[in-house]
Structure 1
Amino acid sequence: MYIDGQWVNAKSGQTREIINPFNQEIIATATEGDREDTKQAIEAARKAFDEESWTKTPASERGDIVQKIANLIRRDKEELAKLETLDTGKTLEESLVDMEDIAGVFQYFAGLADKDEGEVIASPIPNSESRVVREPVGVCSQITPWNYPLLQAAWKIAPALAAGNTIIVKPSEITPLTTVKVFELMEEAGVPKGVANLVLGAGATVGAELSESNQVDLISFTGGIETGKKIMQAASNNVKKLALELGGKNPNIVFADADFELAVDQALNAVFFHAGQVCSAGARLLVEESIHDQFVEALIERTKNIRLGNGFDQDTQSGPLISAEHRGKVEKYVEIGIEEGAKLVVGGKRPEQEELQNGFFFEPTIFTNCTSDMRIVQEEVFGPVLTVETFTSANEAVEKANDTIYGLAGAVFSTDIGKAEEVSAQLRMGTVWINDFHPYFAQAPWGGYKQSGIGRELGKPGLDEYTEVKHVFRNKQPEPLGWFK
């Protein structure tokens, strides 16, 4: 762990073995922090913020340091990508793309660091000046998930540092390797002592302390909805600011007039990329009834050809699930889908190939005959499981698409752009793609409606999350009021 500018082990001496999900080999042993280590990190971050050495550092200098981090990530991107693939099982090609995106996030927020000069607003009071300025929130706790360990960390770390905050980062206890490496790079880039702290450990201890502490001003969390609810409850003790991204059950609407081959290709990518372990995965396919049979047939044919394997193998298209526990959850949802009356048309089981037996693999799976009231349609499976529903009108498609507690993302495929725009305007989601699925970039905000979360990451709103708004009023010709004589 990295606390107050020092690399340290847990006070308890406890450790955790980090497992490669492809073959269950031990790839590292990590120190296992608890509440005491977390308190030490919070104290360091609090001191660093309150002493104001970082917050009073000129914004351009903070930006320079964040840019150095971007440069170092690009320098070491191959090493980082290998660590990410070992840790998560995803393909090396995907990990390399992630590293460029991560460097881009740091570069983007480095550029924004000194661009907010405040705002002068018209005052109704004569001989006065009224200004609005943004200041850092303070001590920020950042809890990141296992599916995109470093990418999600970058979305939080870069804007927080650029805005002048101090941070405590807790990566997922099962995928900490790239976050540890980036803290080495942050130290090399010159991030001052106490400004950035890293605590490894479980959510029940480290995460709980970060959520409950009165010394923490903001908590940013990406992960499951039930954990998000617990964090909200804990954060209410001192009414700390919240930034939550809690996943989705994302609809992919395909009209009969869509480019057929494009829509099939994107539907596969939407749900099976990274074995479906993506918060924005297009796990709900809504197909216009007139093309349903043809569309599903094409999906099945291509799904059968998806190559599972080692992320370091160039022929691999999809890696394993993250853990035995998570695979068990996905298998349970398959059982539920069958019990609910959905028709399993492909997949639904562990692969039989001998070379995959030691990993946490699960075959890409498709259910048809699905209805909106089914649990597999309503709940986030977070695995390679696609449900297919039909619709006969745009209004029905919109109604079904919006019929979940989530509102993270969705897509519309149609060659009628007017219709696609009209449908997208009615979707209650933070991101809507038209004739595409999954693109994101640092300049555009990311987050969800409804129970998909609170606040936004990326874009200018992603920087604003880490600032407080202050109104400064100055009377240029003050005079006594004489109200009380």
Structure 2
Amino acid sequence: MAPIPQQDPVARVAGVPVDTRHWIGGERVASAAAFPDHSPVDGALLAHVARGGEAEAHAAVTAARDAFPGWAATPPGERARVLHRIADGIEARTEELARVETADNGALLRSHRRGVMPRAAQNLRHFADRLLTLNHEDFETRGHSNHVSWDPSGPAVLITPWNAPLMLATWKLGPALAAGCTVVLKPAEWAPLTASLLAGIAHEAGLPAGVFNLVQGYGAEAGTPLVSDPRVRRISFTGSVPTARTIAGHAAAHLVPTSFELGGKSPLLVFADADLDLAAGLAVEQYDNAGQVCLAGTRLLVEESVRDVFLEKFLARARELTLGDPRDEATSMGPNIHPRHLERVDGFVRRALAAGARPLLGGEPHTALAERLGGTYYLPTLLTDVAQDSEIVQEEVFGPVLTLQTFADEEEAVRLANGTRFGLAATLATGDPERAERVAAQLVAGTVWTNCFFVRDLSAPFGGSRESGIGREGGDWSFDFYCDLKTTVTAPAGWS
């Protein structure tokens, strides 16, 4: 894309002023060029955002490196207090953050107000509090004491996706800052605006200059120099498998540890003994955020004997979904993020239909709504008559597209559920506790939900198996990643 000159650095988005420059070393930094940021809600141009590259990436890592010794030496109690003040700032600006993020990524305004922004603040508070209880009991070896400590590793690069920009930024930022690392955040170019607001909030909370830096731009231009910099000591990325492979190659050159939370093609298993009303509700819930949720159980696997009853209940609930403007309280599903992404989603569906799949619901963009609002809307879709080895079953669509398959018994259910290269999550509905325990133990997944969905304590490990990721985040696992663990062994008393 041809460079666009940087214009007025402050854009007004949903009535909120947003500085579109980078945040490096405690200052706003402009770039010679900018990139356009359009709203998926109506296609409107929201802002021209500073388009960073090698120079900005180098400056941000330099600022993070220079600030690291001071932040690492800051007592844990003070680091925790700063994180709590940032959380206070998020809570004080919940309405503004919610409006900007809805305009920027198209997720429901009411969800941002009631769930997403409060969770963003909770992420920071959780790791601030966790830091103060981080401890491992000393242990003894032949009279020698062994003490375990967590030493901050150094500057960290955090790369976040567009489907939950602020929440996932704080999910990474919280433990990194609590651990004593300094950070450079590179947000997704399709939804970068709340990251800029977060930089301002962190500054107002008293976070020292250079501890948190923000570089905006495209992956090849801004992301590559960040993950290639030998001064970076940790890289945390949430996004696609192909991008993770590229990042891993750069990280390997300098042996930089990485944490990857990647794609999913998660199963939702419905057994005949399940509460089918509950199961149908769980299945329809997978359309949340227009299907743009990595954890979504997009493969519905239903026991043959209850297929028709389940399908009737599912379709009745799914047809109650209201697709529309995410700022409207009555809307239950908003747009997809970008015209290119909408084309990608539709391409998956069209190829599946050409291969013999049959649509039971949707199957195409909502053209009338798009013409009226101007945004990128796709009908909630359910496809059946799909083969296990087909593209639509094996590849992540990341849109409001589910598939329906049936199984004859528990063994086949597990085989189908585990039959992809992913392993991020799984959901199962059953009325038999023993079956739930037995099946969950066999599923390849980082998280398994039984008769529920999207419930997780922040202390629990989160991540994926197989190509769904590397490592775990949450609780002490996050500190293990952002720190170098040290064991100090001391001889018995009386040494000389």
* TM-score of the superposed pair, with normalisation by structure 1: 0.95
Q: Per-residue CA shift, 1:206-225, capped at 9, x if unaligned?
A: 11112111010010000011
Indicate the residue corresponding to 1:483 in structure 2: none
Is 2:25 the counterpart of 1:4? yes
Correspondence list, 1:211-226, <5 A: 211-226=227-242
Shift of the alpha carbon at 1:173?
1.1
Shift of the alpha carbon at 1:258?
0.7
2:126 to 85, 108, 133: 108
1:319 to 329, 334, 351: 334
Answer with 329-338 or 470-479: which moved more.
470-479
Is 2:114 the counterpart of 1:93? no
* Amino acid corresponding to residue 432 of structure 2 in structure 1: D
Question: Which segments of structure 1 move beyond 6 Å, counting only runs of 4 or more?
Answer: none
Q: Percent identity between the aligned chains?
A: 39
CA contact 2:367–2:377 (8 Å) conserved in 1: no
CA contact 2:363–2:380 (8 Å) conserved in 1: yes
Aligned counterparts of 1:86 and 1:59: Cα–Cα separation in 2: 37
* Amino acid corresponding to residue 316 of structure 1 in structure 2: T
Correspondence list, 1:39-188, <5 A: 39-49=58-68, 52-96=69-113, 97-124=115-142, 126=143, 128-188=144-204
Is 2:390 the counterpart of 1:374? yes
CA contact 1:171–1:200 (8 Å) conserved in 2: yes
Name the SS of the counterpart of 1:162 in structure 2. Answer: helix
Shift of the alpha carbon at 1:72?
1.1
Name the SS of the counterpart of 1:54 in structure 2. Answer: helix
Name the SS of the counterpart of 2:72 in structure 1. Answer: coil
Q: Per-residue CA shift, 1:131-160, capped at 9, x if unaligned?
A: 221111111000000001011101100000
CA contact 1:119–1:133 (8 Å) conserved in 2: no
Is 2:44 the counterpart of 1:25? yes
Name the SS of the counterpart of 1:444 in structure 2. Answer: coil
Aligned counterparts of 2:235 and 2:387: Cα–Cα separation in 1: 37
CA contact 2:280–2:317 (8 Å) conserved in 1: no
2:318 to 253, 278, 303: 303
Correspondence list, 1:385-404, <5 A: 385-404=401-420
Shift of the alpha carbon at 1:231?
0.7
Aligned counterparts of 2:372 and 2:409: Cα–Cα separation in 1: 43
Indicate the residue corresponding to 2:266 in structure 1: 250
Aligned counterparts of 2:246 and 2:155: Cα–Cα separation in 1: 20
Indicate the residue corresponding to 2:433 in structure 1: 417
Aligned counterparts of 1:75 and 1:309: Cα–Cα separation in 2: 28
CA contact 1:167–1:196 (8 Å) conserved in 2: yes
Answer with 296-305 or 258-267: which moved more.
296-305
Shift of the alpha carbon at 1:478?
6.1
Q: Per-residue CA shift, 1:363-416, capped at 9, x if unaligned?
A: 111101222111101100000000011111111111111111111101110111
Q: Per-residue CA shift, 1:8-67, capped at 9, x if unaligned?
A: 112xx1112211101110112211111110000001111111xx2111111011001011
Shift of the alpha carbon at 1:342?
1.6
Shift of the alpha carbon at 1:357?
5.3
Indicate the residue corresponding to 2:465 in structure 1: 449
Name the SS of the counterpart of 1:81 in structure 2. Answer: helix
Shift of the alpha carbon at 1:260?
1.1
CA contact 1:104–1:442 (8 Å) conserved in 2: no
Aligned counterparts of 1:301 and 1:336: Cα–Cα separation in 2: 26
1:349 to 346, 364, 370: 364
CA contact 2:302–2:405 (8 Å) conserved in 1: yes
Name the SS of the counterpart of 2:366 in structure 1. Answer: coil
Name the SS of the counterpart of 2:47 in structure 1. Answer: strand
* TM-score of the superposed pair, with normalisation by structure 2: 0.93
Shift of the alpha carbon at 1:457?
1.8
Shift of the alpha carbon at 1:471?
1.6
RMSD of equivalent CA atoms: 1.4
* Amino acid corresponding to residue 179 of structure 2 in structure 1: A
Name the SS of the counterpart of 1:114 in structure 2. Answer: helix
Is 2:359 the counterpart of 1:340? no
